[in-house]
Amino acid sequence: MFRKTRTSLIYFTPYEQEHGLRNPDPISSFIDCYSKVQWVYSCVWAIASFAAMVPFKLYRRKGDGELEELDRAHPACALFENVNPFYTRYQLWEALIAYLELTGVAYILKVNSRREFFDYDAPPDELWIIHPARVTAIPSNDSLAPAQYEVQLGHGQKRRVNREALAAVRYFNPNSPLCGQGSVHAIQGSIASDYYAQIYNVSLLKNQARPFGAIKVSGFLTDEQREQLRNEWDKVHKGVAKSGRPAILSGDVDWIDMSKTPHDIEFAELRKMSREEIIAAFGLFPAVLGLPTANYATAREQRRMFAENTMVPKLTLIQEAITQFILRDFGEDIIGTFDLSAVPALKDDEERKAKIATMLVEKRILTPNEARQLYYKLEPYDGGDDVLALMTLIPVGTPPPEKGQKSIHGRNGGGPQYTPQQSRRWLKYVRRIKTIERQAERWIREMFDKQEAEILKALRRSRRDLDDVIDSAMLAEIAAPVVKRVLVAAAEEGIKHGKEPLEFLAIDFSLESPELVAWLESHAAEAVTQINRTTQQLLNVSITEAIANGESIKQIESRIHEVFDRRRRNAHTIARTETLRGVQTTQHMLWGQSQVVEKKEWIASMAPNMRPEHGAIHGEQVKLNEPFSIGVMFPGDPDGDPSMTINCLCDMAPVVSAKAQAEYMCSRIEKWWLPPVTGEGSRRWQIEARLKQQKR
């Protein structure tokens, strides 16, 4: 391909293996792979079609360094919108990338249609992709750059052009600065293995890829007799449609079986290995080619990694080459860039972006207005420039509370004042919680142990096929009884804790109460989903990274163990949260059925890590069916903001008015002494009527 280059070029192609000679046209051999090898075609097409879909925008660089997008009427914009009479914009990028991947170099001929085809002395109005095998670089005296290019036309004609007329986009080649090296160069062995394995497999289907037997004849056969015997045998037995027919031999003829089943030749494993090597060399992932993956999250992550790790560097190389070798003809200040913001795989995950923005504001790293501008490009609003205190969203610098107000900064700084009754109730509550919490933490750790064992078992069973490793149903099956056990134990303590301040009542409320049973079932299912979702997300990210890095099964097992170690360390938080929710939800339901609890009173935690917001509402009383001022119905409310409920050790006390308590006691006494006989005109009816009249 090149003349008198100082660097010796070595091409290792199947041609050299078959003929024992240097391949006279290695570039064509590489390009042939596109039409003959399935995975080369799939990889090149995926990369080329991705690049062709990304918008290419042109800008003018101003004196202050800012970029101004060119008007569509500018000649450079018109050039890339109307490439030439036969190529569209999409086809230009598709062909450019395809040649780059296959040969490592792509040539773009710059043409001004108002002049002779190869005379280049003005900015181009047409661009033509030239087949790399038809271009020969003629080195300059120092061989560091081509002096000219020789382009082969039809009918064997050749024409030399100045190097300014031909824009060359190259991948790095360590052997020569004048040519590029595509991905196909590095994986010729894998491509050849896949190609010949495919041909071998077809032959196997036709004739089992080998003589499946031999006909042994006593004595000597002439060439004519041997050919006649072979033709007669082929006429009856050769071919897929005739396979399996019984053979009938006569005379001094024996049959020797030499067959081997297709299972003995591991085509699937050989082709899978070649496929993985080819895909890896091109920088692709299974999901990009439509191959099955573990789940949707894995597929989405693989598409993102392909766009970010493979396509961004390639597009950067191309846009810089186009800017330097083509757009400079229109002016030194004209540049071209691919608009990566239009690529779906590179768009920020909205949920993740919202969480990051919220965290930065809550941690007092950014103000709300700064977060709005940085992540959402939104206009500022009044008051959005104040740095907000963690979780309370109170502007920093708020004056301290006046004398007599409850401080929100803890007990040592004039915080909540506890009555003896509040202190005793909170201490009893904590003792109940700690007892269940220790048991629940142990149960949840054992649950994660079982899930890890099942995941590893599935991994070893399926080897590197991870589709069924992270089984949601299996994780839920293990977690459901454990979570239900924790909630039932917490509900049992919640009944005791809720009844204790209402000893004068005979409340009929137990674990069998329909309302409590329904809540236990629904919340257990929701808690299992949340716990397993977190586990699955961690596993997906870890396993996806392992696959991308080509790690072994042993390394993947180590990653899975690290994920479950992390989950086991989180068992204490899960146990406390679900225990608190079970106790508080149960006592709230119990008070609702008591008919005498009108209000509830917040008792802030006496622990040193109490939330300031919770300390601020210590002693606050609200109606039983209304939320407290921080937006939760009770401590640990499952429907409340997690920042206000996770690890909350606050408690509540029922508020019963004297009138309601007296009426309840009177009603109990009336039911005790009234005669059992009922009906209009009876003594019981008369007494009840008289009592109703007195109440009026």
Q: Position 50: which residue type?
A: F
Q: Which residue pairs, CB below 8 angstroms and at least 24 apart, start in 237-243?
A: 238/207, 239/206, 240/205, 240/206
Q: Are residues 246 and 116 in the same domain?
A: no
Domain count along the chain: 5
Same domain, 385 and 277: no
Cβ 491 vs Cβ 583: under 8 Å: yes
Residues in contact with 639: Cβ distance below 8 Å, sequence separation at least 6, in sequence order: 632, 633
Q: Are residues 340 and 354 in the same domain?
A: no
Last-in-domain residue among 227, 259, 291: 259
Judge whether 428 lies within some domain.
no
**Are residues 559 and 480 located together in one domain of the fold?**
yes
Distance CA 584, CA 491 (A): 8
648 near 614, Cβ under 8 Å? Answer: yes
Which residue from 564, 317, 345 is spatially nearest to 446, judged by alpha carbons?
564
Could you tell me the two tokens for 494?
């919640």
Give the H or E element holding residue 61. strand 56-61
End-to-end C-alpha distance for the chain, whole angstroms: 112
H or E stretch including 537? helix 514-548
Residue 627 main-chain phi, psi, to 5 deg: -80, 160
> Looking at the domain assignment, is residue 190 inside a domain?
yes
675 and 638 fall within a common domain: no
Burial class (CB in 10 A: 0-12, 13-18, 19+), 73: exposed
Neighbours of 322 (CB within 10 A): 23
Q: What is the DSSP string of 435-477?
A: HHHHHHHHHHHHHHHHHHHHHHHHHHHHTT--TTTS-HHHHHH
Instruction: Judge if 621 and 685 occupy the same domain.
Output: no
Question: DSSP labels for 27-45?
Answer: HHHHHHHHHH-HHHHHHHH
Say how far apart CA 582 and CA 497 lie, in whole Å. Answer: 12
Q: What is the pTM of this model?
A: 0.47
Strand partners, 130: 107
Contact 111, 125 (CB under 8 A): yes
The verdict on residue 427 lying in a domain is: no
Tokens at residue 74, please? Answer: 């500018």
Give the pair of three-digit tokens for residue 278. 């080819």
Residue 203 lies in a domain: yes
- Determine, yes or no, domain membership for 413: no
Distance in angstroms (rounded) separating the CA atoms of residues 333 and 258:
74
Sign of the torsion angle spanned by Cα atoms 33, 34, 37, 43: positive
Contact (Cβ atoms closer than 8 angstroms) between residue 649 and residue 433: yes
- Enumerate the β-bridge partners of residue 149: 137, 161
Amino acid letter for position 432: R
The reported pLDDT for the residue numbered 576 is: 87
Bridge partner list, 127: 110
Pairing of strands 651-655, 166-170: unpaired
The two three-digit tokens of residue 17, written as one number:
């293996």
With the C-alpha atoms ordered 639, 645, 651, 653, is the resulting torsion angle positive or negative? negative
Is residue 294 assigned to a domain? Answer: yes
Distance CA 8, CA 66 (A): 45
Q: Phi and psi (nearest 5°) for 603? A: -115, 110
The whole-angstrom separation of Cα 475 and Cα 448 is: 9
Q: How far apart are CA 137 and CA 264, in angstroms?
A: 50
Do 369 and 475 belong together in one domain? Answer: no
Q: Which domain holds residue 233?
A: 212-259
Give residue 156's pLDDT.
72
CA 110 to the chain's CA centroid: 43
Distance, CA of 628 to CA of 231 (rounded, Å):
95
d(CA 644, CA 393): 13
Q: How many of the other CB atoms lie within 10 Å of CB of 682?
A: 13
Give the type of residue at 176: S
- Burial class of 18 by CB neighbour count within 10 A (0 to 12, 13 to 18, 19+): exposed
The strand ranges marked E within 542-612 are 599-603
Place of tokens 């080459």: 321
Beta bridge partners of 161: 149
206 and 223, same domain (yes or no): no
Convert 365-380 to b/e letters by CB count within 10 Å (16 or more is b): ebbbbbbbeebeeeee
Contact between 546 and 555 (Cβ < 8 Å): yes
Alpha carbon distance 521, 481 (integer Å): 11
Q: Which two tokens stand for residue 1?
A: 């391909």
Strands 146-152 and 56-61 come out as: unpaired
Q: Would residue 217 count as lying in a domain? A: yes
DSSP 330: G
Per-block mean pLDDT, blocks of 10 residues, the chain (696 long): 36 49 60 79 89 90 83 88 88 90 88 68 84 84 77 79 85 79 79 74 58 60 76 66 54 55 55 80 83 71 85 91 89 88 70 75 79 77 65 44 40 67 88 88 92 84 59 82 91 88 74 88 89 86 78 83 89 88 90 84 87 88 90 87 83 79 56 50 62 62
- Domain match, 506 and 637 both: yes
The answer to whether 297 touches 540, Cβ cutoff 8 Å, is: yes
Do 43 and 119 have their domain in common? yes
Question: Is residue 15 in a domain?
Answer: yes
Does residue 572 share a domain with residue 505?
Answer: yes
Same domain, 385 and 490: no
